[in-house]
Amino acid sequence: MQITAAQVKELRERTGAGMMECKKALTETGGDLEAAVEAMRKSGMAKADKKAGRVAAEGRVEIVTEGNKKAVLVEINCETDFVGNDDNFRAFAARCAQVALNSGADDVEALMAETVDGQNLEEHRTQLIAKVGENVQVRRFDRLQAEDALGFYQHGARIGVVVSLKGGDEALAKDVAMHIAASKPVCVDETGVPQDLLDKERAIFKAQAEESGKPENIIEKMIEGRIRKYLAEITLVGQPFVKDPDQTVGQLLESKGASVAGFLRYEVGEGIEKKKENFAEEVMAQARGA
């Protein structure tokens, strides 16, 4: 019988196994999903079953560069920092980053289809899940091309930054990357601030200013002053430089005849809602149920 893409997708979600393994299992079981899951469990290929839904908010970021021409930043997640430091997990993360740098993949799905050592990355991921016993996900990756100078900074395994400069040199680019790692700017300058974010902050500032009871023209000046302060806080060029707070990053760049063409900043688990567990409450709930 013909195995559909929907059947393969469902089995992949159930088992975390690779596309080809899922299609093979479904073919052998005549399209019976439950039988395919059972067969893969018996063969050891489905140790990832039920792990795919578990929160993976730990892990590591990897940076790989090609000379001073381009760089890639990749985030790979697992469930615990223990596995994040496991040699097998680290090797898989490094392999994903290298493939992301050299391949033409433009999203994670395409990246996982890339072949290394006779298997695609999705198959390597499934085997890693079986080995470490945790959900493992390649969450995202981005590449950055160099303009005149490319710099990067990695803070342990959790934060990675890549910066491309127009003008300047690698030392300056690394200093700026270090600053970005510490200060988390939203964008390079105010032209890159999302309009919805600016509108939201303006509405908050207006509500706060109106509580003062001052005239409308004064309120407008108060709002504009707070907006300027807010922009200085969230834009790279407006922030005080971490190594010399007496000057902004913008002033530092200007003094070196440089500007930032672009930057990437990843922090492991950012934006992922982590499950909070209270083991004392869990034990009490079980005791009450008993």
SS3 141: strand
Outline which parts of the chain fall under CATH 1.10.286: 194-234
Q: Which residue ranges does the chain devote to CATH 3.30.479.20?
A: 58-183+262-267
Angle at 254 between CA 253 and CA 259, to 5 degrees: 55
Q: Which CATH architecture has domain 5-43?
A: Orthogonal Bundle (1.10)
Q: CATH says 194-234 is which class?
A: mainly alpha
State the Cα–Cα distance between residues 240 and 234, nearest whole angstrom. 11
What residue has token string 């499950």? 275
* Rounded Cα distance, 106 and 169, in Å: 29
List the CATH code of the domain at 58-183+262-267.
3.30.479.20
Could you give the residue ranges of the DSSP H alpha helices within 3-103?
A: 5-15, 19-28, 33-43, 81-84, 87-102
Return per-residue pLDDT of the chain as tens, 290 residues: 788 988 888 887 777 666 777 888 899 999 998 888 877 766 655 555 556 657 778 999 999 999 888 999 999 999 999 999 999 999 999 999 999 999 999 999 999 999 999 999 998 998 898 888 888 999 999 999 988 999 999 999 999 999 999 999 999 999 999 999 999 999 999 999 888 888 888 888 888 888 888 888 888 888 888 999 999 999 999 999 999 999 999 999 999 999 999 999 999 999 887 665 555 665 555 556 54
Residues 237 and 63: their CA atoms lie apart, in Å, by: 24
